[in-house]
Chain A
């Protein structure tokens, strides 16, 4: 088992968001989590990544058998967890390529390997840039600073491609993207999909699933999974809408 989330409860500023979330992800699987606004999708992503704004009040999360919630955010990343942010943060003054190299080397160090030679890293970057189909000068700019929405999302996928995580959580990476950008992002995800890693796609719309085929689709409503099924569940959802599909949508927030 790659990821085992059991009865997870989490809150922010005293407000309960996740109310008994349970999910199991095996290696090689792609899970899509869909839900209306305010259902707790992003909270799930951030709690898994270790965002300290959220408080876990109950439940546990095992990642490859280890208690994930005990780890600092950087230790989760080093262990192989990667979250693509819904709103990637702009870091003025920090060069994209050096940032990627630092992150890459942090992981190498964690794995007991030597730091990569800067020239070798350049080669690796060139290779990974193709995944997101971005020009070289993408690397010379400051991290996300002044990037368009689409560029930020591609940069998340590029980071994912460089860090090669065991578990990737994509938090609404598709939202705000035009269809071309969406295709690029999906292509990137498909390249990174392997028998030994797992992917959680958090999305509001079904359209990303036209390009990435999930093994399971879960519908999240008010902090809990109300239905799970195969990829056909997403299509059914697209037709019927959340109200009809997922019991009550109490706690619906904008």
Chain B
């Protein structure tokens, strides 16, 4: 992978941004690329990413303008839609309209010019202590991305749909950086859906870094829908900073993709914060997903929930690596880490590691993990009612998967995912056993 230091030459960067990028670069020099000796990178084979000749894709983006080819990622007519092609904002494919007063929703490159002083307070906050090399690389390399700002007490009704599209081809794969910065004010509410998408069989590596600041008493939903091809690589580092009394709900829905790695880091900065982190991965063939989830209870009285499920067929592989950290003095912290994996083949592989680091007393921390196959008794029950072996497997598998999204809103997203689940699992369960 080509790692350039050309940020130094980018004169349009404000000084503060130069500093952030330099810090990130220095941090990266210290970290280097992760190796399998590191616990967080033990199971992942980065060879395809680091070895492939991914070219930084500066000029590939806006050429693509056929909205019909990405229609399947649209959820509704009235959604706010921002489309990025190989990391570059596409004005033509996007549709932003009728936003409440004061809301900023635009590409990050423009925002750096128009709202530099605001962005400066939030961007790259953890650049000097970063532990994920890819996030550091993103910080010193990104050119564009999304900026969303919601003022205090503003509710954005229509969901914001961000489509990050990769179009690279097998002989000219694309490498791009997606940067997402979201800042929400006190008691605001917004729902963001990020579609990590690719054209069929596109070959690309999308390195995403998101920083999401949830204001006091604010509610934010952040749903990531990752639908990759056998040539798509996706590494995302998402940091959530939660204010007092705030509520965060996330979903990482992954279907297919060669390698998908999601790192979700939640930091409770004020009391009575609530975070629900969910994941559902449906993988077949040689797809791999790595979910690394961290909840840092720095203050008392916060609640975190983690609920991740995987359905693995073929030679698919999943990892759930989860850490709940309760700092000294963070009494009455309440956490739950749960991961369940359903193996549909003998060749699928699953790793699950929920961990706790607790430096205080008076907490409630629960964790659990299960890995298993379909229950014979359940299969027999369905078959005894006339359902074929294949349908019985499909019904049970869908039931297992749909539990994750059964309370999901908005309804169009839930319907959308249900269709995908049905489609994917029909393929995955056919003719097995």
- Bound-complex Cα distance A85 to B406 (A): 28
Q: How many residues of A contact B (CB 8 A)?
A: 29
Q: Which residues does chain A contribute within 8 Å of B381, judged by CB atoms?
A: 85, 88-89, 91
B403 at the interface (CB under 8 A from A): yes
One of B375, B383, B398, B400 near A77 (C-beta < 8 A)? B383
Determine if A93 and B403 form an interchain contact, defined as CB atoms under 8 angstroms apart. Answer: yes
Known: A89-B377, A89-B378. A74 touches B388 (CB 8 A): yes
Give the Cβ gap from B381 to chain A, nearest Cβ, in Å.
4
Chain B CB within 8 A of A121 CB: no
- A103-B377 in contact (CB<8A): no
Q: Which residues of B contact A49 (CB under 8 A)?
A: 380, 384
Q: Are A94 and B399 in contact (CB under 8 A)?
A: yes
Complex contact A77–B378 (CB within 8 A):
no
In contact, A91 and B385 (Cβ under 8 angstroms): no
Give the complex CA separation of A89 and B383 in angstroms. Answer: 12
Proximity string of chain A (62-103) to chain B, C-beta cutoff 8 Å, 1 when within and 0 when not: 000000000011101110001101001101111000010011
Q: Are A163 and B386 in contact (CB under 8 A)?
A: yes
Cα A71 to Cα B284 in complex, Å, equals 31
Q: Please report which residues of chain A, range 217-251, place their CB below 8 angstroms from some CB of chain B when the two chains form the complex.
A: none
Inter-chain contact A51/B380, CB cutoff 8 Å = yes
Interface check B371, CB cutoff 8 A = no
Residues of the A chain whose Cβ atoms lie less than 8 Å from the Cβ of B389:
72, 74
Docked-complex contact B396 and A159, CB < 8 angstroms: no
Task: Report the bound CA distance from A89 to B376 in whole Å.
Answer: 11
- CB-CB < 8 A to B118: which residues of A? none
Q: Contacts A52-B380, A73-B380, A89-B378: A103 and B400 contacting too (C-beta < 8 A)?
A: no
Return chain A residues, CB-CB under 8 Å to B402.
Answer: 93
- Judge whether B386 and A94 touch: CB under 8 Å: no
- A92–B406 Cα distance when bound, in Å, is 12
Given contacts A89-B377, A94-B396, A94-B399, contact A102 B383 (CB under 8 A): no
Number of interface residues, chain B, beta carbon within 8 A: 25
CA A50 to CA B385, docked complex, whole Å: 11
Q: Indicate if the CB atoms of A93 and B399 lie closer than 8 Å.
A: yes
Is B156 an interface position by the 8 A CB rule?
Answer: no
Q: How many A-B residue pairs have CB under 8 A?
A: 79
| Cβ contacts under 8 Å, A102 to chain B | 387, 391, 395
Whether a CB of chain B sits under 8 angstroms from the CB of A37 is no
User: Residue A92 contacts which of B383, B391, B399 (CB distance < 8 angstroms)?
Assistant: B399
Query: Closest B-chain residue to A79, C-beta based?
Result: B386
Given A73-B383, A142-B399; A91-B388 close (CB under 8 Å): no
Do the beta carbons of A77 and B385 come within 8 Å of each other?
yes
Closest beta carbon of chain A to B221's beta carbon, Å: 22
With contact pairs A89-B378, A92-B403 given, residues A73 and B384 touching in the complex (Cβ less than 8 Å): yes
Per-residue interface assignment for chain A, residues 97 to 132, with 1 indicating a CB less than 8 Å from any chain B CB and 0 otherwise: 001001100110010000000000000000000000
Chain A residues in 8 Å Cβ range of B403: 92-93
Instruction: State whether the Cβ of B123 lies closer than 8 Å to any Cβ in chain A.
Output: no
Task: Map CB proximity to A onto B392-433 as digits: 1 under 8 Å, 0 otherwise.
Answer: 100110111111001000000000000000000000000000
How many angstroms from the CA of A94 to the CA of B395 in the assembled complex? Answer: 7
Could you tell me the distance in whole angstroms from the C-beta of A142 to the nearest C-beta in chain B?
Answer: 7
- In angstroms, Cα B375 to Cα A83, docked, is 19
Q: Which of B104-156 contact A (CB under 8 A)?
A: none
Q: Write out the residue numbers on chain B whose beta carbons fall within 8 Å of the beta carbon of A107.
A: 386
Q: Which chain A residues lie closer than 8 Å to B399 at the CB level?
A: 91-94, 142
Measured CB to CB, the closest approach of chain A to B432, in angstroms, equals: 16
Given contacts A99-B395, A102-B391, A142-B399, contact A91 B386 (CB under 8 A): no
* Whole-angstrom CA separation of A92 from B381 in the bound complex: 13
Cβ contacts under 8 Å, A103 to chain B: 385-387
Contacts A93-B399, A93-B400 given; does A110 touch B386 at CB 8 Å: yes
Quick check: A163 and B380 within 8 Å, CB to CB?
Answer: no
Q: Which of B194-212 contact A (CB under 8 A)?
A: none
Per the 8 Å Cβ criterion, residues 132-148 of A in contact with B are 142
Contact A159 B398 (CB under 8 A): no
| One of A50, A77, A83, A106 near B391 (C-beta < 8 A) | A106
Interface 1/0 per residue, B87-108 and A, CB below 8 Å: 0000000000000000000000
Closest to B388 in A: A74
CA distance A163 to B395 in the complex (A): 18
Min C-beta distance of B83 to chain A, whole Å: 34
Docked Cα-Cα span, A92 to B378, in Å, equals 10
Chain A residue at smallest Cβ distance from B378? A89
- CB of B341 to closest CB in A, whole Å: 15
Taking a contact as CB atoms under 8 Å apart, the answer to whether B385 and A163 are in contact is yes
Query: Within 8 Å of chain A (Cβ to Cβ): is B46?
Result: no
B382 interface residue (CB < 8 Å to A): yes
Whose C-beta in chain A lies nearest to the C-beta of B403?
Answer: A93
Residue with the highest number of chain B CB atoms closer than 10 Å, among A51, A73, A78, A82: A73
Chain A's nearest CB lies how many Å from the CB of B433? Answer: 11
B401 neighbours in A (Cβ, 8 Å): 93
Given contacts A93-B403, A99-B395, A142-B399, contact A77 B380 (CB under 8 A): no
* Closest chain A residue, CB of each to CB of B395: A94
Q: How far is the CB of A82 from chain B (nearest CB, A)?
A: 8
Q: Which residues of B contact A52 (CB under 8 A)?
A: 376, 380
The 7 residue pairs across chains A and B that have the minimum distance between CB atoms: A93-B399, A77-B386, A89-B381, A73-B383, A94-B399, A103-B385, A106-B386
Given A74-B384, A74-B387, list of 17 further CB < 8 A pairs? Answer: A49-B380, A50-B384, A52-B380, A72-B383, A72-B389, A73-B380, A74-B388, A77-B386, A78-B386, A89-B377, A91-B395, A92-B399, A94-B395, A94-B398, A102-B391, A106-B385, A163-B385
Using a CB–CB cutoff of 8 Å, the interface residues on chain B facing chain A are 375-378, 380-389, 391-392, 395-396, 398-403, 406
List 29 A–B pairs whose Cβ atoms lie within 8 Å, in order of A's numbering: A49-B384, A51-B380, A52-B376, A72-B383, A72-B389, A74-B385, A74-B392, A77-B385, A77-B386, A82-B384, A85-B384, A88-B381, A89-B375, A89-B378, A91-B378, A91-B399, A92-B399, A93-B398, A93-B399, A93-B401, A102-B387, A102-B391, A102-B395, A103-B386, A106-B387, A107-B386, A159-B385, A163-B385, A163-B386
Give A residues with C-beta under 8 Å from B. 49-53, 72-74, 76-78, 82-83, 85, 88-89, 91-94, 99, 102-103, 106-107, 110, 142, 159, 163
